[in-house]
Structure 1
Amino acid sequence: MRKLVVVGAALCLALAGCNSATVDSEPPQETEVAPLERESDAPTSAEETTSSAAKSKSQEDRGAREISEIPSAEVPEPEAKYLGKLKDAGVNVDGVEDQLLGAGQAACDENEVTISAVAGQLVEQNRTKMSFEELSKLITDSARTGIC
């Protein structure tokens, strides 16, 4: 009797699962998008001519411009000193200044998780020869004396 119940339950589950596993062989239906209507470019008065010319000039589509370098932002003095301490201790801070400033702020907020994450990344990226523990302590101490 138990075998019959187990077999029946397994059969019901198998059939119930088949319903959601089917694939429709019908191709997807295409939908059309109505074309946009454009306003007439003909001005109705001299005043509108001047305002529409100024408007089109300000809304002109400009192509992308190539830049040769990323613009540098001024780093406030306390943050610059903090980064300088890390650099003087042998940490390569080039390109990861934002992460280090975030870790410094985390040190001020006593957020050990962020400090550990940044320190671990720096060690794995070979940006320092310090151990993980030494670097974590350096980040914490430098931040608390410099930017907190």
Structure 2
Amino acid sequence: MSRAAKPKLTHLDDEGRPAMVDVSAKAATTREARAECRVRFPAPVAAALRGSGLRSAKGGIVDTAVIAGTMAVKRTHELIPFCHPLPIDGVRIAIDWHGERELRIECAVKTTHRTGVEMEALTGATVAALTVYDMCKALSHAIVLGPAKLLGKRGGKRDFGSVG
């Protein structure tokens, strides 16, 4: 009877020190990931934002968050130490109301490379959420971000959740 291999952290070397994963032996394949982050507003702030068409004194909240999230996807490797720089083939960020008081931000990322884009999708969704917070904080500091979570990934060793 064989035992399943114990899961192991991939960013530690044999001595337990931090290390970037060597992906040179992997085949370049299409990789996709989708993540989301929520932004929850106090009721009066949500009502004011709905009435303004999601505009603040700083400008269009959704448009600015989409731009910030897209920039973050492309710079993930500069923010997270062991992420590989990746050629990003596509980014889609969707922002819409989920209920009366919550925005749902979804970020989908594609590449053709030797490693996946989960961190890029998560970074894009969370930076877009941080941008919404920044643009709305004059209305309230009681805005809550999260949860941020991976919804799905495809390509590589194993698929998870849904990317479409």
Larger radius of gyration: 1
Return the TM-score normalized by structure 2.
0.24
**Structure that is richer in helix per residue:** 1
